[in-house]
Amino acid sequence: MKLTIGISPCPNDTFIFDAIFNHRLKLGDLQFEFHMLDVEQLNRAALEGRFDVTKLSYFAFTQMSDNYQMLRSGGALGHNCGPLLVSHDPLVKLDEHSRIAIPGIHTTANFLLTKAYPFLIQKTETLFSDIESAVALKKFDAGLIIHESRFTYMNKGLHLIKDLGQYWEEQTQTPIPLGGIVIKRNLPEEVKKEVNRLIAESVTYAFKNPNESKSFVQQHAQEMEEVVVNAHIALYVNSLSVDLGEQGRKGVDLMFQQLPSIGITANITQPLFVEG
């Protein structure tokens, strides 16, 4: 069976999927047609049901659980790895008129921003890699940064206003559920379980053979320095990427439970996760 799969070109995703993409594992009867898109492009593609398997923001998943089911492997969850709100002005006073650059309306980052600062309504969707420069040029009062930007924003003269990952952890005592892998609900159960197993095996392979994925990861990381690439992977890929486990599931469940607090009603289709 041939499956379309959407991932981002970010180092955590290419590290996780290298062994599948480059056929370092035995894939059996499954074939994968990969598509690489920005995180918010992936969210929108999932809303359209474009891919059989796809990476997306956990927040976006709340709007499409009728069509997709969450895999337990391949996700980005953890501690001290959440989005950061930064500004060119260390003493910025944010209010309802403040202009904020965000990486996407459907991102978990935007969920956390809305929860922490419900009065910030002047938001502009901006490609995540462009937010630092846009804020540094004072096109916005503040910007919500994700991915490798958390390692580079200080080099552009920006200042941390709030660590929204730390905010989440203080509120919930659970890992931050950033992004996960979902699969079409209408696929056979044995296919769902096999894809979940393969991704878990791919993560494990990457951990055991880190040098094998280097060229693939760097190819898609573009201008990112190797030290930043390695820090990115270390931050976003961990044991929860092999399997969510109890704590990971708890974090996801808590996010869904808190949606009404930001004015969102979501009908979560059960079962939420692929089991077995």
Q: Which residues carry out catalysis?
A: 147
Q: Which residue has the tokens 């600062």?
A: 117
3-state secondary structure 151-207: HHHHHHCCEEEEEHHHHHHHHHCCCEEEEEEEEECCCCHHHHHHHHHHHHHHHHHHH
Cβ proximity of 233 and 217 under 8 Å: yes
Residue 271: is the preceding peptide bond cis (ω within 30°)? yes
Residue 159, token pair as written in the block: 């200042």
Q: Which residues of 217-229 are buried (b: 16+ CB within 10 A; e: fewer)?
A: beebbeebeeebb
Helix (H, G, I), strand (E, B) or coil at 68: strand
Number of H helices, E strands in the chain: 12, 11
Rg, the chain, Cα only = 18
Label residue 95 exposed, middle or buried (CB < 10 Å: 0-12, 13-18, 19+). Answer: exposed
Encoded tokens for 131: 């937010």
**Residue 76 parent element (H or E):** strand 76-78
